[in-house]
Amino acid sequence: MKQKNNQSPTPQNPNSNSGLIFDVLYIANKHQIINVLTSLIVGAAAAFATSYKFIQSEVNKVAEQRLVPYERLLTGLNLNQGEEYQEAAKVFQDLIKSKDKTKLPEKPTELAYDGLLFAIANSDQISEFQGSIKKINDRMKESGEETPWRLHHLAWALMRAGDLDGAKKYFTKALDSYKSKREYTASVDPARGLLFIALFKNEVDEAILLGQAIKDLRPSQYRTNYDLIAEIQEARKSSTFDSFNARYEKTLNATIELYITRLIKSEHQEHQEHQEHQEHQEHQEHQEHPK
């Protein structure tokens, strides 16, 4: 008579050599071909893990490299926003010279050039960027993308660098371009640039005509000649004007004083003529409708 096994199952000892892993290794050791396959599977798994880490590292590296030009572009734009024009110009200049520029699409590349142009036009030491001014000028000619904004800022940069003829050419083109687009308010900026050039060249009559043109373009801001006088006096105090004072110191102050004198005289004359015209109208009304 067979004896029944009434014993409960014995729990497996985790430290014992029984279990799935032990069984696999036992079979692998017993059968050589299975041993080889096991080694291949384990090796493949390890190689896959290594490859995955390498791929992940390379993807991260490529992503970081693609972000670098955008980070530099944003840095330059933020510096311009904070009026740190000298530093902004250097950041944009380095970006445009580097290989990173080729990783930027067309629009961000244009933004980098525009940022550089704006920074140079307002920088303290514009002489450092003569090469970049020429590069921007050449690029505008080649591309044909001479927007009035770019023309104006290129003209301003050229004027500050001492190239008055080049500046006058581009201020005139900017003025005409703004007018053709009926952007009369914006056209005041290049007109003001032409006025400065007239003063630098000691052409007071031309400056007076340009002053009148500015009043006509933006009558809400320039109601009288005293508004023009206030603007030129304010400009003389700015750091930007220091380079002009140094370059044209022999004639500039005298020319500006003559310009201001002429504006005051013209304003008095206009006021007198307006008053006489008003009195004449009142006299006519009185004759036509006597009390």
3-state secondary structure the chain: CCCCCCCCCCCCCCCCCCCHHHHHHHHHHHCHHHHHHHHHHHHHHHHHHHHHHHHHHHHHHHHHHHHHHHHHHHHHHHHHHCCCHHHHHHHHHHHHHCHHHHHCCHHHHHHHHHHHHHHHHHCCCHHHHHHHHHHHHHHHHHHCCCCHHHHHHHHHHHHHCCCHHHHHHHHHHHHHHHHHCCCCCCCHHHHHHHHHHHHHCCCHHHHHHHHHHHHHHCCCCCCCHHHHHHHHHHHHHCCHHHHHHHHCCCCHHHHHHHHHHHHHHHHHHHHHHHHHHHHHHHHHHHHHCCC
Q: Tell me, yes or no, whether 226 lies in a domain.
A: yes
pLDDT of residue 3 exceeding 60: no
Q: Tell me, yes or no, whether 152 lies in a domain.
A: no
Q: Can you give the residue range of the structural domain that contains 255? A: 175-278
pLDDT in tens, 264-281: 999 888 767 666 566 556
Torsion-angle region of 33 (φ positive above 0: left; ψ -120 to 50: alpha; else: beta): alpha
pLDDT in tens, 127-172: 889 899 999 989 888 877 889 999 999 999 999 888 999 999 999 9
Rounded (10°) CA dihedral 151, 153, 157, 159: 70
Q: Tell me, yes or no, whether 268 lies in a domain.
A: yes
The whole-number pLDDT of residue 15 equals: 46
The whole-number pLDDT of residue 200 equals: 93
pLDDT in tens, 53-91: 545 554 454 445 567 888 888 999 999 999 999 999 999
pTM here?
0.70
Mean pLDDT of 244-272: 87
Q: Tell me, yes or no, whether 69 lies in a domain.
A: no
Q: Tell me, yes or no, whether 269 lies in a domain.
A: yes
Distance of CA 126 to the CA centre of its chain: 16
Name the amino acid, one letter, at 127. S
The whole-number pLDDT of residue 268 equals: 87
pLDDT in tens, 6-62: 443 333 444 444 455 555 455 555 555 555 555 655 555 555 556 555 455 544 544
Residues 6+ apart with CB under 8 A from 235: 196, 241
Rounded to whole angstroms, the Cα distance separating 176 from 188 reads 11
Number of C-beta neighbours around residue 31 at 10 A: 12
Mean pLDDT of 95-99: 84
263: tokens are 């504006």
Name the amino acid, one letter, at 172. T
Structural domain count, the chain: 1
Mean pLDDT of 188-203: 94
Quickly state the pLDDT bin for 201 (edges 50, 70, 90).
Answer: very high
Q: Tell me, yes or no, whether 42 lies in a domain.
A: no
Are residues 29 and 22 in contact, defined by beta-carbon separation less than 8 angstroms? no
